[in-house]
């Protein structure tokens, strides 16, 4: 890796007459300030002066980046010539900064990133940054830009690959009660009504009763028997949480964003209110004048805020493993395409258990969760379903399709056969449950510690719409055809509302 930076320093006084003294000082920096450690060296390879400007070229092939070296040189110049010559540095500009580095393999198509042009010849990449400011250098973007180019090239080799999927186990085939789409049939019966916008549903009493039964079963048959405790969190997630979890860089195109009013002063809103009263319409352009830029979004999942709640905390050994779940935060994800059934929605209801503990505790918990889920899906729902190792969702969000976790960390999907979609072999099964162990990914991101132990974490999102869709697709809408295990919890549906 080679760095070459060209910088122009504007000083407070004319450098004429200081050329010799300045040159000697810059030469000395190459053997002192810029060469303190063998693995961290840089060099001023060229310098010129003109009136109040000093032009430098700094190169490096080590971990001491020239942009960092430049800031050190700036401080050293100020300390050396400030008092003696009343010389201060007014500004720094970087007309050109070139970084050359090797890739693991050549790209399959051009790569672009913000702030720099990218030229790649074979496996050699050259980043060229022009007109950089001192503020830009201080933000230390350079290494992230290099990493981003490498990631983009690597991701090109995953594009178009099928997601990793490895079957673990499959239940026996079950007798089919019907082959209809439960969402369409519930709409016909008036149990459901499509929301006023895409991907939202209004659940009338019958559908709501089924959904709430799923919630009850998940809590009382899976979570409470294992010692999970309920927490309550906000629906709204600030960006800093998603930055730590990686969601913000992985899936910003799926969020529903939240904005706040700039002010609650009615005078500032007078024109918008007047327009609304006159036109009986929403003038979006006028509305936007009174809105702040977005700084948060609606929950994509509950786990990020749960991790945030432990940020910087040291957990007592006696509290391990930590077993908590949230069922209150509504989740929102902007789905592509038009309207879909309740199995694929923009707004949905889920329960998210999160677990934090030692490696052994979490591996043991995974087996216990598998037992509880299997009990529900076999004994209560009597589903036809299967388990598979898949590309972990946190790798998918980074574009790493085709990768899987190890047998210790990673994601297991539970999939249900949906008869209305076609044959078992040729149709798409519904992923209606997952179970992940994430290692120390979020433990490190949120600086969560234990008194003695090394911590891991994991989560297992329970989507109530997905459970409902899988169950009804196989068992139908008539409670007389439902398994006895399920009718112990819901044997009769509410009468509902009759419309004329």
Alpha carbon separation from 145 to 111, 117, 125, 228 (Å, rounded): 12, 11, 12, 42
Distance CA 417, CA 385 (A): 6
Q: Which residues are catalytic?
A: 303, 333, 335, 344, 352, 413, 431, 434, 459, 466
SS3 171: coil
Residues 6+ away with beta carbon under 8 Å from 286 = 271, 272, 275
The backbone region for 18, taken as left when phi is positive above 0, alpha when psi lies in -120 to 50, beta otherwise, is alpha
Residue 99, φ and ψ in degrees, nearest 5: -125, 125
DSSP state letters, 71-123: HHHHHHHHHHHHHHH---EEEEEEEEEEEEEE-SS--SS---BTTBEEEEETT
Specify the residue for token string 């997630």.
Answer: 237
Report the 10 Å Cβ neighbour count for 384: 22
Q: Which two three-digit tokens encode residue 216?
A: 């009850």
Residues 6+ away with beta carbon under 8 Å from 60 = 2, 3, 41, 42, 43, 66, 69
The DSSP call for residue 358 is -
59 sits in which H/E element: strand 53-60
Distance CA 305, CA 241 (A): 7
Specify the residue for token string 């790798």.
Answer: 395
Q: What angle in degrees, to the nearest 10, is found between the helix axes of 205-217 and 464-475? A: 110
Residues 6+ away with beta carbon under 8 Å from 54 = 8, 9, 11, 15, 22, 47, 48, 77
Q: What angle in degrees, to the nearest 10, is found between the helix axes of 182-189 and 205-217? A: 140
Nearest CA among 317, 316, 348 for reference residue 331:
348
The DSSP call for residue 446 is T
């Amino acid at each position: 890796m080679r760095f070459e930076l060209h910088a122009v320093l504007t000083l407070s006084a004319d450098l004429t007459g200081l050329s010799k003294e300045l040159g000697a000082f810059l030469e000395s920096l190459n053997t002192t300030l810029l060469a303190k450690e063998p693995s961290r060296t840089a060099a001023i390879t060229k310098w010129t002066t003109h009136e109040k400007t000093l032009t430098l070229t700094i190169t490096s092939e080590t971990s001491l980046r020239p942009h960092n070296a430049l800031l050190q040189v700036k401080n050293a110049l100020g300390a050396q010539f400030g008092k003696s010559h009343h010389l201060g540095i007014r500004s720094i500009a970087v007309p050109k900064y070139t970084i050359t580095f090797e890739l693991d393999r050549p790209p399959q198509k051009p790569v672009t990133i913000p702030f720099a042009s990218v030229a790649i010849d074979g496996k050699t990449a050259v980043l060229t940054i022009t007109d950089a400011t001192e503020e830009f250098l201080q933000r230390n973007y350079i290494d992230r830009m290099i990493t981003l180019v490498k990631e983009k090239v690597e991701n090109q080799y995953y594009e178009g690959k099928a997601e990793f999927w490895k079957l673990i186990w499959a239940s026996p085939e079950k007798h089919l009660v019907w082959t209809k789409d439960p969402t369409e049939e519930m709409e016909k019966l008036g149990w459901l009504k499509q929301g006023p916008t895409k991907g939202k549903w209004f659940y009338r009493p019958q559908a709501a009763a089924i959904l709430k039964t799923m919630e009850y079963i998940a809590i009382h048959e899976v979570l409470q028997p294992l010692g999970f405790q309920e927490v309550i969190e906000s629906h709204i997630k600030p960006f800093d949480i998603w930055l730590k979890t990686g969601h913000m860089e992985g899936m910003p195109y799926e969020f529903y964003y939240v904005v706040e009013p700039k002010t609650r002063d009615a005078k500032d809103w007078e024109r918008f209110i007047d327009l609304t009263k006159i036109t009986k319409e929403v003038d979006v352009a006028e509305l936007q004048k009174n809105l702040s830029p977005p700084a948060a979004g609606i929950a994509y999942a509950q786990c990020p805020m749960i991790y945030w709640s432990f940020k910087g905390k040291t957990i007592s050994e006696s509290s391990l493993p930590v077993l908590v779940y949230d069922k209150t935060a509504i989740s929102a994800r902007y789905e592509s395409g038009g309207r879909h059934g309740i199995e694929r929605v923009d707004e949905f209801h889920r329960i998210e258990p999160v677990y934090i503990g030692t490696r052994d505790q979490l591996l043991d918990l995974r087996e216990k969760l598998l037992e509880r889920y299997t009990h529900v899906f076999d004994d209560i729902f009597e589903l036809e379903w299967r388990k598979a190792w898949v590309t972990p969702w946190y790798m998918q969000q980074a574009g790493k399709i085709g990768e899987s976790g190890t047998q210790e960390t990673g994601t297991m999907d539970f999939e249900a056969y949906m008869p209305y979609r076609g044959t078992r072999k040729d149709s798409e099964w519904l992923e209606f449950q997952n179970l992940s162990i994430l290692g120390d990914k979020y433990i490190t991101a949120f600086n969560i510690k234990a008194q003695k132990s090394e911590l891991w974490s994991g989560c297992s999102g329970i989507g109530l719409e997905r459970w409902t869709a899988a169950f009804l697709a196989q068992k139908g809408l008539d409670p007389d055809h439902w398994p006895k295990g399920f009718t112990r919890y819901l044997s009769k549906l509410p009468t509902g509302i009759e419309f004329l």
